[in-house]
Every structure is written in C-alpha cells, then in structure tokens.
Amino acid sequence: MIYLETSRLQLRDWEETDLEPFSRLNADEKVMRYFPKTLSIEETNVFYKSIISEFKECGFGLYAVEAKENKEFIGFIGFIGFHRATFEADFTPCIEIGWRLKKEAWGKGYATEGATACLHYGFKELGFSDIYSFTADVNQPSKNVMIKIGMNFIKTFNHPKVKKDSPLKKHVLFHINQK
C-alpha cells in the first residue's frame, strides 16, 4: 500500500525485497555515523520486524521510501509511536518523526520532501497534535531537515542510551504541533 506520494517519492508498505537494501543501508558507516554503531544483518532483521509490528499495532510507522524515477528503495521516513520509546525523558512517550536514506539519495531534498508529507499526514489523517524529533547535536544534516520542515528547537539533552564519552551523547530535541 502507498500511504503518501510526493512529486518524487512514494512512502509505502515494506516488502521483503526491501530487506537486502535495508541491511546495506544500516551497515553503511557513512549513513550510520550519527548512531552508536552500524547494524548487523540480524539486527536489521529485528528492526524490520519491529517496523512491521508497529504498523499492525498502530496503523502507522516508518514508511519504506521509493524514488519514483527508478522505483528504487532509498530508505525510510515516518513515525515512531508511543510504545517504541526506548528511554525515559520529560518528552517521552511521544510521536517521533525520523528518516534514514542511503547516501546516494542525500542532498536531493528527499528527507525534507518526505518528512513534510509525513507531518501533514500525521496531523490531518492520523490526528497527532504534537510531533517530536531528536538527533545527536553533531548531526547537522538532520537538524537542517528539522528546521526546513518547520520544527522548533526545544532543548539539548544527554541521551541516556549513548556512552558518556561519545561525541553522540549530546542530543537536540525539536518539536512541532498542529497549527
């Protein structure tokens, strides 16, 4: 099923054929440089199953993203729901928007385009009132997307699941509400 369509992207259900390029995406050191580590094939399989499960439980989740021009899987954009919070903070549980695209798709505005469509869908169709996003403070590309899609900086925080001495420890929190 296609959930969202933009001029250049389709945000759709996951297919088993996405698993191989999804594994490559999660194993790519450049793609994962703002995460504590790359993911193994086994870890990607667990992640994939949790995405499918979230769709079944919530009716939304992280959508597989396909470029219309070549029908190629380029990553994911979408929502992480209340029950997936993996740490406690003053803003959790929450609806989070996130994205991960293969490096060949970077610099083309795909994350901004897909995330903008997701925000509209989340507010108008799914009835969300607030949507959050967070990333490592050093992740300027994602912070730029958050700003471009109209999110507002709320604060910095130390991510409790990241090692103390990691340059990824300090995170930024952004928020947007339905206008």
- What is the pLDDT of the chain when averaged over all its residues? 94
* d(C-alpha 159, C-alpha 87), whole Å: 8
Write out the chain in H/E/C secondary structure: CEEEECCCEEEECCCHHHHHHHHHHHHCCCCCCCCCCCCCHHHHHHHHHHHHHHHHHHCCCEEEEEECCCCEEEEEEEEECHHHCCCCCCCCCCCEEEEEECHHHCCCCHHHHHHHHHHHHHHHCCCCCEEEEEEECCCHHHHHHHHHCCCEEEEEEECCCCCCCCCCCEEEEEEEECC
Per residue in 64-103, pLDDT (tens digit) is 999 999 999 999 999 987 656 567 778 888 899 999 999 9
Q: At what angle do helices 19-27 and 41-58 cross, to 10 degrees?
A: 120
The answer to pTM > 0.75 is: yes
Per residue in 98-148, pLDDT (tens digit) is 999 999 999 999 999 999 999 999 999 999 999 999 999 999 999 999 999
Assigned CATH class of 2-177: alpha beta
Mean pLDDT of 51-72: 95
